[in-house]
Amino acid sequence: MRYEVKALATSIQKFCHSIDKESSAIEYGGRLNDFDKFLRDKYNVTIDEFVESFKVNPRFDVYDVLGEYRIDLRSRVSKNTAAGRIITTRYFLEMNDIDIINTKWRLKVKPPRREQPEKTPLSKDDIRKIILGCQSPRLRVYLHFLASTGCRASEALSILWKHVDLKNGTIHLRKEYTKGDRARTVILTKEIVTALQTWVDFRNRTRRMIVRNKDGGPQKWKSFYAVRLLKPDNLLFSTGRFDEINDNPVDLYQCVRREFIETMDRIGFQGRRDDGKRRRITLHDFRTFVYSTISGLGQSDFGDFFIGHKHSTYWSKPQSEILKLFHKIEPYLTYLDYSELEQKGADTDSKLEQKDKEIQLMRNQIQQMTEALVNAGILKPD
Q: Residue by residue, what is the 3-state secondary structure of the chain?
A: CCCCCCCCCHHHHHHHHCCCCHHHHHHHHHHHHHHHHHHHHHHCCCHHHHHHHCCCCCCCCHHHHHHHHHHHHHCCCCHHHHHHHHHHHHHHHHHCCCCCCHHHHHHHHCCCCCCCCCCCCCCHHHHHHHHHCCCCHHHHHHHHHHHHHCCCHHHHHCCEHHHEECCCCEEEECHHHCCCCCCEEEECCHHHHHHHHHHHHHHCCEEEEEEECCCCCCCCEEEEEEECCCCCCCECCCCCCCCCCCCCHHHHHHHHHHHHHHHHHHCCCCCECCCCCCECCCCHHHHHHHHHHHHHCCCHHHHHHHCCCCCCCCCCCCHHHHHHHHHHHHHHHCCCCHHHHHHHHHHHHHHHHHHHHHHHHHHHHHHHHHHHHHHCCCCCCC
pTM over 0.85: no
Output the pLDDT for position 151. 95
Report in angstroms the alpha-carbon separations of 227 from 164, 202, 208, 209: 20, 11, 9, 9
Q: Taking the CA of residue 230 as centre, how many other CA atoms within 13 Å lie in the half-sphere pointing to its CB?
A: 21
Residue among 156, 142, 221 nearest 186 (CA): 156
Return per-residue pLDDT of the chain as tens, 382 residues.
344 444 788 999 999 988 877 778 888 999 999 999 999 999 999 999 999 988 877 788 999 999 999 999 988 888 888 999 999 999 999 999 998 999 989 888 888 887 776 677 889 999 999 999 999 999 999 999 999 999 999 999 999 999 999 999 999 999 888 887 789 999 999 999 999 999 999 999 988 887 777 776 677 787 888 888 899 999 999 988 765 555 688 888 999 999 999 999 999 888 776 666 678 889 999 999 999 999 999 999 999 999 988 777 788 889 999 999 999 999 999 998 755 555 555 556 666 777 777 788 888 888 888 777 777 777 677 6
The answer to whether 131 and 335 are in contact (CB under 8 A) is yes
Where residue 363 falls (left for φ over 0; alpha for ψ -120 to 50; beta otherwise) is alpha
Using alpha carbons only, give the angle 70, 72, 77 rounded to the nearest 5 degrees. 85
Report the alpha-carbon distance of residue 306 to residue 371 in Å, rounded.
55
Spatial distance between the Cα atoms of 150 and 303, rounded to a whole number of angstroms? 9
377: amino acid identity, one letter: G
Q: Which residues contact 55 (CB under 8 A, 6 or more apart)?
A: 97
* CB-based burial label for 155 (10 Å; 0-12, 13-18, 19+): buried
pLDDT of residue 160: 94
Q: What is the pLDDT of residue 4?
A: 44
pLDDT score of 1 = 37
CA distances to 31, 50, 55, 91, 188 from 99, rounded to whole Å, are 20, 14, 11, 10, 50
Give residue 115's pLDDT: 72
